[in-house]
C-alpha cells in the first residue's frame, strides 16, 4: 500500500462481475464483496427494479475505472486523472512529450555526427 491509495477515491474494479461497482465499493471500504452484493439484492427486493438499476448505472458512470497498475508518483496520478477525464488530451500530452524527446535526440545526433565533434575528439586525444 502506497501513499496514493488513500487519495485515489473509489474505483470500479476490473475484476468485477458487471461493471465492477460492487467490488470497487467493497475494496475501497475493505468489506467482503459478498456482503455488498447482498445489500444490493436486498435493496433491489425492497425498492424495485428501476431505482437500484438507476443508482448502479449512475455509480458505474461516475466511478473511474481502477488503474491497471498501482499509481506510484504524483506525475502518474495526474496523468491517470487527466486520462480518465479526457483521453484525447492525455494522448495529446504524450504526443507532445515524445516529440520534445525526439527533437532533443535529433539535436544530440547532429552534434555527435557533426564534423566539429570529430575534429574536437581527435584534437583532445
**Dist CA 106 CA 102 (whole Å):** 6
Q: Mark whether 14 and 59 lie in a shared domain.
A: yes
Q: What is the mean pLDDT of the chain?
A: 79
Q: Number of structural domains, the chain?
A: 2
The pLDDT score that the predictor gives to residue 102 is 92
Q: Is pLDDT of 85 > 70? A: no
Q: Mark whether 5 and 53 lie in a shared domain.
A: yes
Q: Mark whether 97 and 123 lie in a shared domain.
A: yes
Q: Find the mean pLDDT for residues 41-68.
A: 82
Higher pLDDT, 54 or 3: 54
- Full-model pTM: 0.51
- Domain extent, residue 121, equals 87-125
Q: Mark whether 61 and 14 lie in a shared domain.
A: yes
DSSP state of 66: P
Amino acid at each position: 500500500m502506497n501513499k496514493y491509495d488513500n487519495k485515489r477515491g473509489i474505483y470500479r474494479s476490473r475484476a468485477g462481475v458487471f461493471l465492477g461497482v460492487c467490488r470497487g465499493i467493497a475494496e475501497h471500504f475493505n468489506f467482503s464483496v459478498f456482503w455488498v452484493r447482498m445489500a444490493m439484492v436486498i435493496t433491489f427486493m425492497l425498492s424495485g427494479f428501476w431505482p437500484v438499476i438507476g443508482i448502479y448505472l449512475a455509480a458505474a458512470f461516475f466511478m473511474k475505472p481502477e488503474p491497471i497498475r498501482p499509481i506510484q508518483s504524483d506525475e502518474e496520478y495526474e496523468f491517470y486523472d487527466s486520462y480518465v477525464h479526457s483521453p484525447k488530451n492525455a494522448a495529446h500530452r504524450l504526443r507532445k512529450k515524445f516529440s520534445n524527446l525526439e527533437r532533443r535526440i535529433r539535436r544530440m545526433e547532429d552534434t555527435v555526427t557533426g564534423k566539429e565533434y570529430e575534429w574536437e575528439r581527435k584534437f583532445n586525444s
